Amino acid sequence: MIWSLIVGAIIGAIAGALTNRGAAMGWIANIVAGLIGAWIGQGLLGTWGPNIAGMAIIPSIIGAIVVVAVVSFFLSRSTR
C-alpha cells in the first residue's frame, strides 16, 4: 500500500511536470492524480510496459496526464 502511494506520487509528479501544472496542485493532489490516472490509464490502455507496485508505468503516466490536464482546466475556469 505504501509503495502504491509512493509510485502514485511519482507518476502524478511526472504528469504535473509534463503539463507544467504540477507545482500548483501540491503533493497530495499529485498522489491522487497519479493513483486515479493509473487506474484510468490501465483501464483504457491495458497493463503493458514495466510494472512497479502493481501499476503499469506508461499507461499510468498517460492517464495521470489526462487527469492533471482535466483538473487544471476546470480549476482555471472556476477562478476566472
Check pLDDT > 80 for residue 3: yes
Mean pLDDT of the chain: 81
Average pLDDT over residues 22-39: 77
Cell triple for 5: 502511494
Output the pLDDT for position 23: 61
Nearest to 70 by CA among 35, 27, 37, 31: 37
Nearest to 68 by CA among 6, 5, 4, 21: 21
CA dihedral in degrees (53, 49, 69, 19; nearest 10)? 100
Output the pLDDT for position 70: 84
Check pLDDT > 80 for residue 79: no
Predicted confidence band of residue 38 (pLDDT cuts 50, 70, 90):
confident
Output the pLDDT for position 12: 81
